[in-house]
Amino acid sequence: MLKLTEKYSARPPAELPLLFQRILQNTIRDHFRRQKVRSMWTMPISNLLGGDPEGDADPLETLEVVDDSKFSEPPAEQAARAQVLAFIEKALEKLPARQRQAFLLRYWEELDVTAAAKIMGCSEGSVKTHCSRASHALAVMLTKQGIKL
């Protein structure tokens, strides 16, 4: 009604019902268009996960929890893991520098052969050779300690 009185007050009274009808229809269409655009950008997570379309469910309740915490293990297993890691660190210190560097870049930093070769300043074949030798040497050292991975 406000739009009608503000913008079309000079029009003849016979045109006012049709103008009001058009203003009302356009306002309703605009409202639903805006709502549609907003709902595209603010879709509830529960709709993505197959929850109810009403949005009453909590999306956090639908997620599965994976318990990868080290604290859920018994203390004996935590101690055994700590000992194995200590042995691996000592064995890594005994490796030659290039083998240790290649092994850590490839398996600890999870770099591919090309990236490791670029960092080490050598060919990809050299990285593969150093990694292979390091893996075999570590396997021998850890087997002597009675550790099988």
Transcribe 45-96 into DSSP letters: HHHHTT--TT--S-HHHHSPPP---GGGS-HHHHHHHHHHHHHHHHHHHHS-
pLDDT of residue 80: 85
Does residue 80 share a domain with residue 140?
A: yes
Looking at residue 10, its pLDDT comes to 84
Query: 90: domain range?
Result: 76-144
97 Cβ neighbours under 8 A, 6+ residues apart? none
Question: How high is the pLDDT of residue 121?
Answer: 93
Predicted local confidence at residue 134, as pLDDT: 92
Which residues, 6 or more positions from 147, have their beta carbon under 8 angstroms from its beta carbon? 84, 87
Distance separating alpha carbons of residues 102 and 134, to the nearest angstrom:
8
The predicted pLDDT at position 33 comes to: 86
pLDDT at residue number 63: 59
Q: Decide: helix, strand or coil at residue 1.
A: coil
In a domain, 134, yes or no: yes
Burial 80-109 (b: 16+ CB within 10 A, else e): eeeeeeebbeebbeebeebbbbbbbbbeee
Query: Rounded distance, CA 70 to CA 43, Å?
Result: 35
Q: What pLDDT, on the 0 to 100 scale, is given for residue 65?
A: 59
Predicted pLDDT of residue 64: 63
Q: Which amino acid is at 95?
A: L
What is the per-residue pLDDT for 11? 84
139 shares its domain with 95: yes
CATH at residue 101? 1.10.10.10
Please give the model's pTM, rounded to 2 decimal places.
Answer: 0.49
User: pLDDT at position 73, please?
Assistant: 74
pLDDT of residue 6: 81
Are 94 and 135 members of one domain?
yes
Q: Is there a domain that residue 68 lies in?
A: no
* pLDDT at residue 14, rounded to an integer: 87
Spans of the chain below 50 pLDDT: none
State the pLDDT at residue 55: 52
pLDDT of residue 137: 92
In a domain, 140, yes or no: yes
How many distinct structural domains can be found in the chain?
A: 2
